[in-house]
């Protein structure tokens, strides 16, 4: 591993984050707070508990996941799309760095940013609802794994995209619906049987379920399955990224 | 062949003809099906300044992009100081610095940060002294805290050079380094490039300013439509350049060049009305006088005369047309 190179790329990406602190941290915190006010307080006060957890507390892991997914994807996709768009990618391609080093740095920076964000949202949530975290290490593990996996997905999107529309389209058309339908705001047990079966094909269900389990010890699906699905997601993304660099797909002419 | 750790003294002379970059049979077909390079062969000597000339679209940037790892070759191989650019890409790329043709820079980072980043990217430990030296040599020191976006076009061009020099490359590619750079700075840049050469850096540059190639290069390569059509020592080329032609319009056409004039480098136009004497600017002044006297003696009357001089630009234009 070219340690100086990885450090330089990572630090440069993090500096970019610092420069855009407003949009990258403050905006999601505001929107999450709005969710709490609307769903948690306004609606939640009229809702029964879900699996013994108050509705406001129940949606916290889902909300964090929602932000984690969308932010990981947008951070990472912009992070690599932007150099392609401005042309500064030439430097990356001409540098003596390996695929792995580029991925570690860019995906690492994007994931770092969304993990920080997730923790900030978690902290924000404590202002609104009483929270408890039964399995903090598992919570961090799911946070980490999800952030890294979806940063990889974002990285792939950023490389695949050849315009800003494409950059928006995957998060908008696929990820956001999957997250909303993945049980961020409800337990899939509340769904009619048919839709419950459909929901089980949504990988985000497993991420949210596992993550929620680490908070309250209750899960829609076994935590082991959640972990396996998350890891599988991670590996598939990793393989695609490896293939992209091997072939120079959309990076080299 | 590779020789590492040469001393300063034997370096300059001994290494001069050593090949540091070897391009064999390089072809490039873009995804569109367009063939941008057609079997290019080129050896770059260690420590030389090589100017790559050619009209727009000749394939100069494509060639450079392949060597630097930005584009994939379709066929052929490139060796950088003995390292294959694909198999040993780390070693090969570490030696190379690239200043791209397009002004592509980060916008919001500071000059200092972006140049330091380039050094790190090539896996060199931080060295503020070196960055300082580079920025000063490119008159960017005063701008080190500025955001890149606040720089002028010429400053951005110099910033790209600073970035390329940040990791102390042994081979520097300059793809039109002086496009959009004012006259003073252009001269500064020439000085900088010569300084680099002095320190043993091999420089490959492209330019559309023929006088720049004339000024700087040790050797000149000319590309046309994806082919490298000429590679020549500049001095040799300058000898062609130094040729002057004296054209004499004759009162009475000649059938052929008279025997008495056979010792002179003469050419007769097909209609016999124009006699052209080609000579070297450096020498042979005297023989022109002799030649003209001779004409007078022979009773050949001259109606008019003109001299023309072929410049590198003429040679270049002739080479690349059609
Ligand atoms: N990505 C690409 N896809 C398809 N064709 C390309 C691509 N890049 C370059 N070309 C074509 O390849 C040819 C060579 O381009 P190149 O940029 O190497 O020329 P050049 O000699 O650098 O020209 P200039 O002096 O204008 O910079 C041109 O005809 C160009 O249109
Ligand atoms: Mg070019």
Tokens of B248: 């004499």
Higher pLDDT, A218 or B224: B224
Let me know whether B221 and B271 are in one domain: no
Domain boundary among B217, B239, B261: B239
d(CA A117, CA B210): 55
Tell me the residue range of the domain where B252 lies. 242-320
pLDDT level of residue B322 (50, 70, 90 thresholds): low
Let me know whether B71 and B181 are in one domain: yes
Which among A5, A9, A95, A105 is the top mutation candidate for probing chain B, defined by the most B β-carbons within 10 Å of its own β-carbon? A95
Let me know whether B149 and B231 are in one domain: yes
Let me know whether B271 and B144 are in one domain: no
Whether residue B1 lies inside any domain: the answer is no
Counting the structural domains of chain B, the total is: 2
Quote the pLDDT of residue A219: 82
Let me know whether B71 and B180 are in one domain: yes
- pLDDT tens, residue by residue, B241-266: 567 788 899 988 988 888 888 888 88
Let me know whether B210 and B301 are in one domain: no
- CB-based contact, B178 to chain A, within 8 Å: no
The two counts, helices (H) then strands (E), for chain B are: 11, 14
What is the atom index within ligand 1 of the atom nearest the CA of B208?
25
Count chain A–chain B contacts defined by CB atoms under 8 A: 85
d(CA A13, CA A108): 9
Q: Name the closest-CA residue to atom 8, ligand 1.
A: B62
- CB-based contact, A246 to chain B, within 8 Å: no
- pLDDT tens, residue by residue, A42-58: 777 777 777 778 888 88
B289-310 CB burial, b ≥16 within 10 A, e <16 = eebbebbeeeebeeeeeeeeeb
Whether residue B150 lies inside any domain: the answer is yes
Is residue B62 within 6 Å of ligand 1 at its C-beta? Answer: yes
Percentage above 70 pLDDT, chain A: 100
Q: Name the closest-CA residue to atom 4, ligand 1.
A: B30
Closest CA to A91 of B165, B169, B99, B88: B99
- CB-based contact, B30 to chain A, within 8 Å: yes
Domain boundary among B239, B263, B292: B239
CATH number assigned to the domain comprising residue B295: 3.30.70
Angle between helices A55-86 and A3-19 (to 10 degrees): 110
The mean pLDDT value for A213-236 works out to: 89
Residues 156-175 of B with CB under 8 A from A: 163
**What number is the ipTM of this complex?**
0.86
Let me know whether B265 and B225 are in one domain: no
Half-sphere exposure of B33 (CA within 13 A, CB side): 0
Whether residue B206 lies inside any domain: the answer is yes
Distance in Å, CA B100 to ligand 2 centroid: 9
Contact A8 B107 (CB under 8 A): no
Let me know whether B291 and B186 are in one domain: no
Let me know whether B178 and B49 are in one domain: yes
What's the first-to-final CA gap in chain B, in angstroms?
38
Whether residue B227 lies inside any domain: the answer is yes
Q: How would you classify residue B303: left for phi > 0, otherwise alpha for psi between -120 and 50, otherwise beta?
A: alpha
Best residue among B27, B28, B33, B34 to mutate for probing ligand 1's pocket (most ligand atoms within 8 Å of CB) is B34
Distance in Å, CA B56 to ligand 2 centroid: 7
Tokens of B195: 């300084």
Domain boundary among B214, B239, B264: B239
CA angle (B5 as vertex; B3, B6 as ends), nearest 5: 75
Best residue among B26, B33, B36, B101 to mutate for probing ligand 1's pocket (most ligand atoms within 8 Å of CB) is B36
Let me know whether B267 and B234 are in one domain: no
CATH number assigned to the domain comprising residue B173: 3.40.50.300
pLDDT level of residue B4 (50, 70, 90 thresholds): very low
d(CA A244, CA B184): 45
Let me know whether B250 and B124 are in one domain: no
- pLDDT tens, residue by residue, B92-130: 999 999 999 998 888 889 999 999 999 999 999 999 999
- pLDDT tens, residue by residue, B285-308: 567 778 888 888 888 888 898 887
Residues of chain A in contact with residue B106, where contact means CB-CB under 8 angstroms, are 86, 88
Whether residue B276 lies inside any domain: the answer is yes
Let me know whether B156 and B295 are in one domain: no
Please, are residues A168 and A74 in contact by the beta-carbon 8 Å criterion? no
């Amino acid at each position: 591993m070219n340690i100086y190179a990885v450090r330089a790329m990572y630090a440069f990406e993090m500096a970019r984050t610092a420069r855009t602190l407003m949009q990258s941290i403050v905006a999601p915190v505001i929107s999450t707070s709005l969710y709490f006010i609307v769903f948690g307080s306004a609606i939640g006060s009229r809702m029964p508990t879900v699996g013994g957890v108050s509705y406001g507390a129940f949606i916290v892991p889902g909300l964090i996941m929602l932000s984690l997914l969308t932010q990981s994807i947008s951070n990472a996709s912009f992070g690599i799309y932007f150099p392609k768009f401005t042309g500064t990618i030439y430097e990356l391609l001409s540098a003596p760095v390996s695929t792995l080093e580029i991925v570690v740095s860019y995906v690492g920076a994007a994931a770092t940013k969304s993990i920080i964000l997730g923790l900030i949202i978690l902290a924000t949530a404590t202002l609104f609802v009483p929270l408890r975290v039964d399995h903090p290490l598992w919570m961090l593990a799911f946070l980490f794994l999800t952030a890294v996996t979806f940063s990889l997905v974002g990285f792939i999107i950023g490389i695949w995209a050849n315009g800003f529309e494409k950059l928006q389209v995957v998060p908008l058309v696929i990820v956001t619906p999957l997250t909303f339908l993945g049980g961020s705001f409800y337990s899939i047990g509340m769904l009619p049987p048919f839709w419950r079966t459909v929901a089980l094909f949504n990988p985000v269900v497993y991420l949210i379920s596992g993550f929620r389990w680490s908070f309250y010890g209750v899960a829609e699906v076994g935590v082991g399955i959640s972990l396996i699905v998350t890891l599988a997601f991670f590996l598939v993304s990793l393989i695609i990224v490896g293939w992209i660099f091997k072939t120079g797909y959309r990076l080299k002419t | 062949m590779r020789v590492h750790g040469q001393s300063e003294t034997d370096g300059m002379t001994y290494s001069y003809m050593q090949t540091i970059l070897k391009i064999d049979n390089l072809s490039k077909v873009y995804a569109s099906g367009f063939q941008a390079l057609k079997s290019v062969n080129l050896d770059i000597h260690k420590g030389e300044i090589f100017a790559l000339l050619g009209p727009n679209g000749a394939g100069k940037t494509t060639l450079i992009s392949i060597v630097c790892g930005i584009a994939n070759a379709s066929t052929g191989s490139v060796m950088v100081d003995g390292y294959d650019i694909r198999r040993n890409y780390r070693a090969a790329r570490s030696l190379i610095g690239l200043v791209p043709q397009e002004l592509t820079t980060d916008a919001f980072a500071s000059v200092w940060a972006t140049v330091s980043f380039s050094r790190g990217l090539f896996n060199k430990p931080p060295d503020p002294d070196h960055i300082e030296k580079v920025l000063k040599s490119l008159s960017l020191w005063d701008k080190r805290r500025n955001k890149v976006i606040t720089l002028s076009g010429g400053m951005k061009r110099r910033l790209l050079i600073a970035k390329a020099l940040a990791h102390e490359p042994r081979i520097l590619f300059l793809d039109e380094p002086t496009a959009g750079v004012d006259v003073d700075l252009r001269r500064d840049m020439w000085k900088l490039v010569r300084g680099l050469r002095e320190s043993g850096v091999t420089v490959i540059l492209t330019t559309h300013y023929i006088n720049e190639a004339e000024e700087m290069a040790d050797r000149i390569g000319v590309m046309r439509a994806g082919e490298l059509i000429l590679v020549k020592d500049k001095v040799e080329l300058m000898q062609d350049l130094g040729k002057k032609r004296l054209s004499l319009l004759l009162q009475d056409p000649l059938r052929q060049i008279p025997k008495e004039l056979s010792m002179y480098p003469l050419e007769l136009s097909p209609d016999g009305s124009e006699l052209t004497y080609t000579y070297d600017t450096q020498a042979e002044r005297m023989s022109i006088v002799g030649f003209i006297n001779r004409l007078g003696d022979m009773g050949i009357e001259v109606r008019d005369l003109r001299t023309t001089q072929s410049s590198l630009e003429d040679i270049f234009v002739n080479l690349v047309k059609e």
